[in-house]
Amino acid sequence: MRRKGSVMRVMHSGIDSQPDDQFFVRYGIIFADPRSLRPAVQGRAPVDAGHSQPPIRHNCSENIFNVEERLSFDWSSLMLTSIARGLCAFFGMFTLWNCVLRVVKDVPDPNRWWIGVPDKPLFFILLVGAALTLCAYAIRPFQSAWRRRIGVALITSAFVIACWNAIVYYRLVADASITTRLAVPIPFSLVVAVVLGIVSIAMYRNRPAGGIRCFSVSAPVLVATILAFPLLQMVCFGTTDYRRNADAIVVFGARAYADGRLSDALEDRMRTACELFHAGLAQQIICSGGPGDGDIHEVEAMRDYAMSLGVPETAFVLDRNGLTTADTVAESNDIFEQYEIRSALVVSHGYHLPRIKQAYQQAGLTVYTVPARPKYVLTKMPVFMAREVAAFWAYYVR
């Protein structure tokens, strides 16, 4: 290309020609001087810096467009494509890695963290195809015709599945099969549907975006998505109550004071577990924790508090080695086998539940999460949630 005056001119097969509107739409080129865009009058071409232009033989409105509109359109396209690339980078790599884990380790499908599909080969192939499409778009957004058609079809299919997941969630809420602490129930599937909708639109529009401007938007979007994913799981999944009949209730420990009193967080968890027990949903309570501040062990303080609420001593199984979430899950494996427990309700605070579910899922144990009912919002909740973001990904990559 070469610039002559203030008008961009393009070389086609060695012959100077005026680029048409499709050229500018495709490559996002903006005229530098609006005055050079004045339409030809009475068959004469616009004049630029004393250089004559060849007469325009067809409708000038097809080639001449408003600079402000073009500039606005260019930035909106750049933003849409850049945001979509950041989203595609995360979900593409996340989904592809989950598919690899599914094959290599033969674990329950980790992709259920963002989309629920039947455990059948056809849907596994769909997820692999969607993952490759997302990764390819993150690397190179401008697509050939066949690649765009395939990509839009795959991502639209995933969008439909995510919408169906959201519909199933609302049906379960309507039937009272599950409940939520949110004033307005919002499933994570609905967030996923919005993301896939944005990606589908960007793929369909097929606009190029590269260079430092695109990277300056895509990179922060990728980082924000990595941080937002576990946070949204805490808000959506962590506030959803999946209580049902089970063989046992597992309560995760927290601080117990030297005099045997429970911290407010631990009291919330034990009180919720006792409610489940008295509702007849399970006949055993597994208390898991580590040493307390004094001579009284966490699990002993938990048991004593539950007994004060009417739970018989024979209902307890004490796990004194539950220093961490991973330790509790590992001990649960042995306890489940010893007491022939096939499923359990797990009680903790909502911010903790996604990581608990992930750990039990990796261990191949069936649990249903129940968020503790707090007496008040914990003052350190933002700190706990920020810590859980790092912990969630640490457990994921183990």
Do residues 150 and 203 make contact, with C-beta atoms less than 8 angstroms apart?
A: no
User: Hey, what amino acid is at 190?
Assistant: L
- Is the pLDDT reported for residue 50 higher than 90? no
Least confident of 14-28, 261-275, 287-301, 366-380: 14-28
3-state helix, strand, coil in the chain (%, to 5): 55, 10, 35
DSSP 261: P
Contact 349, 374 (CB under 8 A): yes
Question: Range with the lowest mean pLDDT among 92-96, 241-245, 290-294?
Answer: 290-294
Give the pTM.
0.79
Alpha-carbon distance of 384 to 170, in angstroms, equals 29
CB 111 within 8 A of CB 127: yes
Domains of the chain (ranges; CATH) run: 2-65 (no CATH), 70-236 (no CATH), 242-396 (3.40.50.620)
The per-residue pLDDT for 65 is 44
Question: pLDDT of 195-231, one tens digit each?
Answer: 999 999 999 988 876 667 788 889 999 999 999 999 9
Sequence letter at residue 239 = T
